[in-house]
């Protein structure tokens, strides 16, 4: 993850209520920001440092009435991670699904093992 919080994230940080945080939390927190197409995005993130995270950085992205699209997910990926960091979206077994929001997608990065990629011709 980036070492410095992007100004858009800082400005959109939720600072009151149950998901509140301040800039001392770094990239951990909840944020309301406008995406690249001016759609309001709700973002919750974790830098993976907490023991329960097991080194997995995580960002969830949701909208009120539809799932985020590819440009929105790329926009969010670049707010939290550097251009050369590999970040993934998973399709786990359906038996393990936990769905707290019908229009939420997730980005993950393993800080311990990284991610192997297929040959570039396949990507």
Q: What is the pLDDT of residues 29-50, one digit of tens each?
A: 999 999 999 999 999 999 999 9
CA distance 112 to 43: 23
**Of the options 3.40.1720, 3.10.50, 3.40.1350, 3.30.390, the CATH number for the domain spanning 7-113:** 3.40.1720
Task: Give the Cβ contact number of residue 107 at 10 Å.
Answer: 21
pTM, 2 dp: 0.91
Total residue length of the chain: 123
Q: What pLDDT does 98 receive? A: 83
Question: What are the sequence ranges of the domains in the chain?
Answer: 7-113
Instruction: pLDDT tens for the chain, 123 residues: list them.
Output: 999 999 999 999 999 999 999 999 999 999 999 999 999 999 999 999 998 898 999 999 999 999 999 999 999 999 999 998 999 998 888 888 888 888 999 999 999 877 788 888 887
Parallel, antiparallel, or unpaired: how do β-strands 56-62 and 40-46 relate?
A: antiparallel
CA distance 53 to 55: 5
């Amino acid at each position: 993850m980036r070492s410095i919080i992007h100004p858009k994230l800082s400005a959109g940080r939720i600072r009151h209520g149950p998901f509140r945080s301040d800039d001392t939390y770094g990239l951990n927190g909840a944020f309301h920001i406008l995406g690249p197409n001016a759609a309001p995005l709700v973002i919750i993130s974790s830098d993976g440092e907490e023991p329960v995270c097991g080194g997995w950085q995580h960002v969830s992205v949701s909208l009120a009435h539809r799932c985020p699209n590819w440009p929105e997910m790329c926009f969010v990926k670049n707010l939290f991670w550097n251009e050369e960091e590999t970040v993934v979206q998973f399709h786990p077994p359906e038996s393990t699904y936990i769905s707290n929001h019908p229009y939420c997608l997730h980005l993950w990065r393993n800080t311990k093992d990284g991610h192997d990629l297929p040959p570039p011709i396949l990507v």
